[in-house]
Amino acid sequence: IALTTNGVLLAEQAEDLRTAGLDRLNISLDTLDPAKFERLTRRRLLDRVLVGIDRACDVGFRQIRLNAIAIRGETETDVIPLVEFARERGLELRFIEFMPLDADGRWQPNQVLSGEALREIVAEHFGPLCPAPRADDSQPAVDYLFSDGGRIGFIHPVSQPFCESCNRLRLTAEGQIRNCLFSHNEWDARQLLRGGASDEELRQLVRDAIAAKAAGHGIDTVGFVRPKRAMYQIGG
C-alpha cells in the first residue's frame, strides 16, 4: 500500500501511518531551494517537507520515492542537489517531464526538460548510468543504476510516450475512474456504489473505462486539448 503526498504533514503523521501498515511513500519534491519551492508550490513549507522526509526514514519506512517535476529554464540547477539529497538518505528519486497539467494552464512544449537531458546532467556529475532491469514492462519510469549503488528513474511521457504499454487506471478522490490523465471522460464509480450497485455492475464500469482507453495521450498532436482539470484536481 502506497501513499502519494506533498509531505507537509508527514512529520506529524509518519509514525501512525507506518503503524497502520502503510508500506511505501511517494513524496513530491521539485527543489531544495526555499524561494523556488515557494514559487512553484505557492507555499513556504519546504522546511516542513524536509523534516517530514527525515521523520519517515526514522520511523522505519524503507520504500520512499521522491518525485521531481523537471521544467526547462527553471529546475536544471536543482537536479544535482536533489540527486545528492536522495543518495545521502538511500531514497529513490524519479524525475518527471513537465506535462500540460499545470494549475495555471500555461504549459508550453519548450518548457519540457527531457529525460535524456536529465540523464546527461546526472551522468556528467555522477558517472555513467547503467539501465536497470525492468521488473514490470508497464511501469512508467525507466530506471538506471549508479555505478556505486543506488537507483534513479526518469518518466518521459512527452518526449518518449509510453502509451502503448500503459495499463493504468486512476480512481479519483471523488470516486471517478479515469483511464488516462489526459482523458476528457470519467466513469462514475461513486454513483454506482452509493446506489447499491452489484459487483458485476462495477466490473462492467471498469471494463467500459478500459475499452475506451485511447491509443495515446495526444500531447504531440495538432488537435490536442488539455483536460479541464489540473493534476492537483485529479488526484487519486
pLDDT for 44 equals 95
3-class SS at 93?
strand
| Best CA proximity match to 27, nearest among 118, 101, 92, 120 | 92
Contacts of 166 (CB under 8 A, 6+ apart): 138, 140, 180
Please report, in tens digits, the pLDDT of each residue of the chain (236 residues total): 888 899 999 999 999 999 999 999 999 999 999 999 999 999 999 999 999 999 999 999 999 999 999 999 999 999 999 999 999 999 999 999 999 998 888 899 999 999 999 999 999 999 999 999 988 888 889 999 999 989 999 999 999 999 999 988 988 878 999 999 999 999 999 999 999 999 999 999 999 999 999 999 999 888 889 988 888 787 65
Q: Are 102 and 231 in contact (CB under 8 A)?
A: yes
pLDDT (0 to 100) of residue 236 = 57
Gap between the Cα atoms of 226 and 211, Å rounded: 21
- Which amino acid type is present at position 145? L
- The full DSSP string for 54-88 is HHHHHTT--EEEEEEEEBTTTSGGGHHHHHHHHHH
d(CA 143, CA 155): 9
CA–CA distance from 108 to each of 14, 61, 157, 170, 184 (Å)?
A: 37, 37, 14, 25, 20
Q: In degrees to the nearest 10, what's the CA dihedral of 175, 100, 63, 1?
A: 10
Query: 65 near 92, Cβ under 8 Å?
Result: yes
